[in-house]
A and B are shown apart, each in its own frame.
Chain A
Amino acid sequence: MQDTIAKEITVKASAQRVYEAITDPTQIIKWFPDAVEGDLAAGQKATFTFEGHGKSSIYTIAATPFNYFAYRWIPGGAVAVDDVLKESNTLVEFFIEERDGKTNVTVKESGFALLPVEMAEKAFAQNSGGWDYMLERLEKFAS
């Protein structure tokens, strides 16, 4: 069953460089949300703004220089709430590992199993994920 998404990328930069690109509000807006309000420190609430989509509430779980950053949010589109932890949320984790002058970044988002299907339906009603593709990947649900 698929509860987790994991994606990985290798960049030509140091772990510190990558960590700061993710956790520094003035840098994260260069590649992820268009604006950040609040602090991306452990235990702090923040808001990501995605132009044309709205705001997403963020609750930072951990920020450990220069290898780990984790937050909770409500996936599938912009949802701003007072307390993310009281809603159906997912955990997003960044694992940063420097090796031989390059840095490996893995992002993991988990907790999809507990989300209401209505949320998925609402956010992705327009998605045209094909049935053939679906069947092809069915086996993976079992692992």
Chain B
Amino acid sequence: MTADELFRALGDPTRLEIVRRLSNRESCTISMLLSGLGISRQGARKHLQLLADANIVTLKPDGRDTIVSLNRATLAKGKAFITEIELQWDKRLEALRQYVDNDQINDL
């Protein structure tokens, strides 16, 4: 899986809502998950399959229904990477600031 799939999978309001709903519980059935979401079961299937392909959720058949659970580790991976790189740029820009500011003082 690429980060592209991960981020693309999350870049949709319905899928984001599904993830948000799942974040409050360990796992639930598709029926429970979809109540009040305003989309058809078939439409939801497509979204869930996409999330499953990106390893964001796991789908497990349970009789006539399907249990959906969230893979938090997958989400955390993508975010941790971005967060870390943001922090690095903060530090570097601060170092640049100190370098050019100090240098200017030395020039005086």
Beta-carbon contact of B82 and A2 below 8 Å: yes
Q: Report which of A31, A121, A142 forms a contact with B77, defined as CB distance below 8 A.
A: A121
User: DSSP majority for the B interface?
Assistant: helix
Query: Please, how many residues of chain A have a CB less than 8 angstroms from a CB on the other chain?
Result: 46
Contact for A142 among B4, B10, B72, B95, CB less than 8 A: B10
A116 within 8 A of B: yes
Chain B residues, CB < 8 A from A21 = 96, 99-100, 103
Q: How far is the CA of A141 from the CA of B13 in the complex (A)?
A: 10
Chain A positions 28 through 65: 1 when the CB is less than 8 Å from some CB of chain B, otherwise 0: 00111000000000000000000000000000000000
Contacts A7-B86, A9-B97, A123-B84 supplied; 17 other A-B pairs, CB < 8 Å: A8-B93, A9-B96, A21-B100, A21-B103, A75-B85, A76-B81, A105-B96, A117-B6, A117-B77, A117-B78, A119-B3, A120-B80, A120-B81, A123-B81, A124-B80, A133-B79, A142-B10
Can you report 26 residue pairs joining A to B where beta carbons are below 8 Å apart? A2-B7, A9-B97, A12-B104, A27-B99, A76-B81, A76-B84, A107-B89, A107-B92, A112-B7, A112-B81, A112-B82, A113-B3, A115-B3, A115-B4, A116-B2, A120-B78, A120-B80, A123-B81, A127-B83, A129-B76, A138-B10, A141-B10, A141-B16, A142-B10, A142-B11, A142-B16
